[in-house]
Structure 1
Amino acid sequence: MTLTGAQSGAVTISFEVTGAAVSGGDASLASTGADSMPALSLGALLLLLGLGVALVARRRRV
């Protein structure tokens, strides 16, 4: 990148692109090492619980 104007000059930056954490597969993101299954399970449980509460509340109104 070249800058122009009163503060002209050049900026150099280097970075490293790491490969996917899946061996032999085609994955778009590297693994963070965190397990997402507990959070997904809790989210699904809370969603079902909320749906149940909403259905009970609706039946009581009708």
Structure 2
Amino acid sequence: MADDDDWVGGEPPEGRHTRDQADPGYWARQWKGSAITGAVVLGLILVVVLILLLG
């Protein structure tokens, strides 16, 4: 069984991207993580407000 993690020399199995092919803004355009974090924080705030009002 061949193991891709054992490559030696040459190009790695996932390939290479030159500087002109790179996209540094890629991760800045990933909005889902921020949306999930915002929803969790909003949910926690709502729970705390409900506990204070009902408590």
TM-score normalised per structure 1: 0.43
Higher share of residues assigned strand: 1
Answer with 1 or 2: which has the greater Rg: 1
TM-score normalised per structure 2: 0.48
